[in-house]
Each structure stands twice: as structure tokens, then as C-alpha cells.
Structure 1
Amino acid sequence: MIKIRRSLTAFAGALLVSSLVAAQGTYPTKPLHFVVPFAPGGESDIVARQVANKLAVLRGYTVIVDNFPGAGGNLGAEKAMKEPADGYTFLVISGAYAANAAVNKSAFDPIAAIQPVIQFSTQPSVLIANLKYKTVGELVDKARKSPGHLNFGTAGIGSLGHLSNENFALVTGVSMNHIPYKGTSNAVTDLAGGQIDMMFAGVTGARALAKGGKIRMLAVTSPKRLQVLPDVPTLVESGIAYESSLWHGLVASKDVPPSIIEKINADLNAALRDPDLVSKFNAELLSPVGGTPDRFKEVITTELDRLQRIVKAANVKPQ
């Protein structure tokens, strides 16, 4: 009788394990959706599509990248958070997510309502200026000698670029004018034309413009010089105590089952270690990151805290 009970217990345990494995094996049964809250062609879109393609190759996933631009990323974020928490809709976020949350009132709690999945990448930004400036020192001297005459451009009020420039002004103690545009490309056009003096931008796009002789890269925001830009100093080297980085990653609704988050995190870590994806990222001057959901949550909360301090110190008002 004891042997029979033990056999039945062992059988039941094996059946339970098999059922769990089978249940896990059924996910995903339909395409995943990566919601990008910006227009196609931007860095968030590029990163999302490269990761989605690699998941398809490595794990056979079908991932649809949905672009929902508007309100500085808020429209796409709100849409993603309203979808069923079944593990099929994810939101691609960047530092712009934290900037929005620091400046504007969101329709949901930017930390409590989400479940971080993984950080995709990191990249320094670069201070760019029109060609009349050769160094950061020249730029700052102009701002100090003519308070309120230096113009910086951004993709809009409350954008990450806006807060980066406000931080630069706080650190250097200068007074500058904010010229908001409807998108980064419009600001860069005026920068090249001399209508504005400076702005912060991603390294990839800035390098292309600098090679074309349209703008000048004055300093990168990384702790050390970049190997691909050995002649561009850091802001710290230029005498400015300023470091920051741009990043991208993936989050889900807080109600998505932990088992799904764990599986997606593991599969994405494998994708981010793949030599082909690493090469594609490096071509965009991006560094793959990976890691745990908790590590990415720390990145998001730290960035939000940093930007909230800038917003308060610079007295940045919501749109």
C-alpha cells in the first residue's frame, strides 16, 4: 500500500511538472507587440526593430513593432498600459519616459504601474553647436558675457533634451534661452543654419552631421572619450561637472505574470549577447546592456529622481 501511494505521489508530481512545462511552452501563442511611442526611424524605433528581429531568429517569436507617436511619448505609453496584461503588449521606453514623468502629470504612475523587463542599450549624448564655436569654453564664455543671448534648441518643452540643456545651464551657472521645436530634426536644421547656438543630441546622428561639416561636436557626456570619437573631449575634461547617458529598454504592465517577465527577460538577454545584434548596436554607437528587471528598475527610478531635481531647480513648468 505504501509503495502504491508513493508511486501515485511521484506520478502526480511528474504530471504537475509536465503540465507546468507544457503551459510555459504554449507562450507565446500569438505575436508580441512592442509599442514604440515615437515615429518610425528614430532611435527607439531602430533599437526595438533590431531586438524584435533577433528574437525572431533566436526564439522564433513574431514581434510587431507598433509606432504611436504623440505628446512626447505619452500617447504610446498610455495605449500600452491600457492593453490587457496578458504578456503580449510591451512598451519600449527611453530617458524621454522619465523626462515626461518628471515634467508632466501622467495618466498612470510611472513606476508603480509598470514592470521593468530589461534594459536594451546605453549611449552617451553629445553637446553640439553651430560652427562658430570650437570649444565648450568658448560657448560658456559667450553665455557668461552675454546673459540671456545664448539660444539652445530642443524637441519641445519637457523633452529629455530640454532637461539636459537646463542641467547644463545649472551646472555652468549661465542664463540661456530655450527655443522649443516640433521635433529634433527641425532644431538641428536651425542649429546648422546659425539660428540657435547649441543643443544635446544622440551621438549617431550628431556624428553624421559633423562629418558633413554642418555642426561641431564639442563634448560627449560619457565619463571617458569614445573610441570612435577620439578627438571629442568629455564635458568633465572641458571643466564641466556633467555626465549622463541615453538608454532604451522594455517594460510591461505591473499585472503581467512574473513567469512571462522571467521568460522574456531570459530570451532578450540571449538576444543582446548575440554577436550579430551587438555588431548592429555598435554600428549605431549603442552598447547592449541586458541584465535583470530589478537592475533596469533601478536605472529608471534613478533617472526619474535626477530629472525631477533638475525640473525643480530650473523651475520647468508643464506644457
Structure 2
Amino acid sequence: MPTLDRRALLLAGMASALGTKSARAAFPERPIQLVVPFAPAGGTDIAARRLGETLAGLLRQSVIIDNRPGANGIVAGQAVVKAPADGHTLLVATAASFAAAPALGQKLPYDVAHDFAPIAMLGLFPLVLNASPTLPVSSLAEFIAYAKARPGELNFASAGIGGTNHLVFEMLMQATGIKLAHVPYRGAGLAAADLLSGQVQVMIDSLAASLGNLQGGKLKALGVTTAARQPQLPELPTLREQGVDVVYPGWASIVAPASVPAETLRTLNTAINAAMADAKLVARYRELVIEPVAWTRDETGAFMARDRSVLSELVAKTGIKLAE
């Protein structure tokens, strides 16, 4: 469906939903609290604020961003799962907290599959396979051949054991048969710094964080992990295009306590999907290197469940364990 037609349908659906709510108990009755499991100013936080601004106009209520970082999303998750189930308190759920954490056996004070109801997506966050400028390869095929000739001699960096960039690189090794040593860091920034200097050879990182160094020629990009090429680097092929069957974007979604009424969840899904068609939001997302997506509640829930399953299978195959 052409973008303009899809946008018109989403906005028309939102207008219809708002037009009928006067016949029911009004929702929202007061400001909506959107709990973000990160400190302010990061990409996910900025995306949530941009979405909140657009939602406020569509729902005719303020959307308050509540930053609650800590414990890999547990602090934020507890705040929402204990909130009244009326749709006025929502959570930004991430791949790390709603897929990787349960897959890795992290002890959580709630069940991500049953204690929360999926509403819609906040967005997809493209990842890219980066190589150090000191590594003598210029393509994914060259890197795979180089690594196969040197099993265990090369290193890959990550932001920590069990993080998204760690797990996606494990997927890459499973798919290609290469074997590199894992060097976990306390944060993606520290890992990227050593990649730039050649202390480590490769790393999967967010395209948003990598873009400046890639465009400046300080890093070499070997492929993106998304299903399609990204507009910021249109000449860079996906991993799948190059024969490696790995598709894994980072992601964040919006969820609510599980017992929120279905009609309220539908209203929120309609509003969020209409926001994803807003030209200003789309432009801001593109600046942040985030892909806006408008999915149904069922599509969102199926995507999250599938990710948990994929990561659980990966952990079972590799034996990855969180550090004690």
C-alpha cells in the first residue's frame, strides 16, 4: 500500500476511534505515564518523547515520560506491573529486558509473557556489523574467509555478556561457522573505542551510534542486520543479501499491565499507529536512525514472543550464561 494511503487510513481510523469514545467511559481520563527504562537523552528515550508529543495531540491528554533506569529494566517493569490496570501507565519494553533477560534465565519479579499486554511498537533499531580499520577485509565474504582461516585468533567486542550485540554476533557465528573470542565491555562506547583503535577486530553495534564513524571512514561496515537496507547507508547490503541468514533488528515496544481492558488497548494501538504515520515523527525517527512500524497488537505480541524463542534457542545451543 502506498505510504500516503496507509497514512490516510491510520489517521482516519484514529479519528473514528476518538469520535466514538464519547459513547463510552472516556479514555484517557487523565495524563498517560510512559515509563522508560533508561536515563534521559538516549535514543530510546528521545523516541519515546517524540511519540509522547504526537500521542498527546491524538489522545487529547498529556503524555508524561517517566525515566526509571536500573537493573536491566526491572525497576521500570515493576513500576508498571504494579500500576492500576487502566491504561494510564505504560512501559517501553526492550529486546534486552523482554527477550534476552528471560532467555538467559535472569530472575525477574514478573513474567514478561503473561503479566504485560503488548500494545504496539515504539520502533526498530538497525544494527550493523563493523570492522576495525586495521582488519584487512572490505566485505562480509572476505571477513568470513579471513576468520575461518584463523579460528579463535580474532576477537569481537560487545557491551557485555548477554547484551543484544553479543547475542547477535553469536547468531552470526552460528550461521557462518566462524569462531571468534568474545571480549565483553562495560558499555558499547568503551567497546567501540577499542574497535576504532584495533584492539578488537569486529563488533555489532547500533547503526545510530556507528553512523558518524562509518561516514567518516573510521570504521568499515560489512552489513546491516535488518531485513532491508537502511536509508542512511543505502549502498550497504544486509547480511541476508550476502548469504548469511541473520535478520535481527534491535527493538522497543509499548506494553501495559496484562489486565487493562481490551478496548483501551485497542484505542492505544490505534493512536500509536496513527502517530507512526505522522510526518514529523517519521522525520525525527529517521534522524535517530529508528524505523517506525505500525503493527497490530497481535503482530507486536507475536514478534516479541518469537524473539524470546529465538534467543532461548540460541542460549541453549551456545551455553551463554550471565556473569555471576
Q: Tell me if TM exceeds 0.5.
A: yes
In the TM superposition, what are the counterparts of 1:16-95 in structure 2 within 5 Å? Answer: 21=22, 24-25=25-26, 27-95=27-95
User: Deviation of residue 238 (structure 1)?
Assistant: 3.0
Runs of 4 or more, structure 1, over 6 Å off, are none
Are 1:234 and 2:235 an aligned pair? Answer: no
User: Deviation of residue 166 (structure 1)?
Assistant: 0.9
TM-score scaled by length of structure 2: 0.85
SS at match of 2:276: helix
SS at match of 1:201: strand
Are 1:192 and 2:158 an aligned pair? Answer: no
Are 1:219 and 2:223 an aligned pair? Answer: yes
Deviation track 1:94-118 (CA, whole Å, cap 9, x = no partner) reads 2222111211232211111110011
TM-score scaled by length of structure 1: 0.87
User: Deviation of residue 34 (structure 1)?
Assistant: 1.2
**Which of 280, 287, 307 pairs up with 2:291?**
287
Moved more, 174-183 or 248-257: 174-183
Which letter maps to 1:29? E
User: Deviation of residue 22 (structure 1)?
Assistant: 6.1
- Contact kept? 2:28, 2:59, Cα under 8 Å: no
Structure 2 alignment gaps of length 5 or more: 1-20
Report the number of matched residues.
299
Partner of 2:253: 249
- Over the residues paired in the alignment, what is the CA RMSD in angstroms? 2.0
Partner of 2:8: none
1:181 & 1:79 partners in 2: Cα distance? 29
- Contact kept? 2:276, 2:293, Cα under 8 Å: yes
- Contact kept? 1:142, 1:150, Cα under 8 Å: no
1:123 & 1:182 partners in 2: Cα distance? 21
Which letter maps to 1:92? V
Partner of 1:98: 99
Deviation track 1:229-273 (CA, whole Å, cap 9, x = no partner) reads 132122133332222222221001102222221221222122111
Deviation track 1:112-165 (CA, whole Å, cap 9, x = no partner) reads 111001113224321112112322233323322222222222222111111101
Partner of 1:17: none
Partner of 1:168: 172
SS at match of 1:192: helix
2:61 & 2:132 partners in 1: Cα distance? 45
- Contact kept? 1:116, 1:250, Cα under 8 Å: yes
In the TM superposition, what are the counterparts of 1:102-121 in structure 2 within 5 Å? Answer: 102-103=103-104, 104-121=106-123
Partner of 2:265: 261
Partner of 2:214: 210
- Contact kept? 2:227, 2:247, Cα under 8 Å: yes
2:247 & 2:197 partners in 1: Cα distance? 28
Partner of 1:314: 318
Partner of 1:153: 157
Moved more, 276-285 or 158-167: 276-285
Moved more, 298-307 or 188-197: 188-197
Which letter maps to 1:115? A
- Contact kept? 1:44, 1:94, Cα under 8 Å: no
- Contact kept? 1:221, 1:245, Cα under 8 Å: yes
Q: Percent identity of the aligned residues?
A: 34
- Contact kept? 1:129, 1:217, Cα under 8 Å: yes
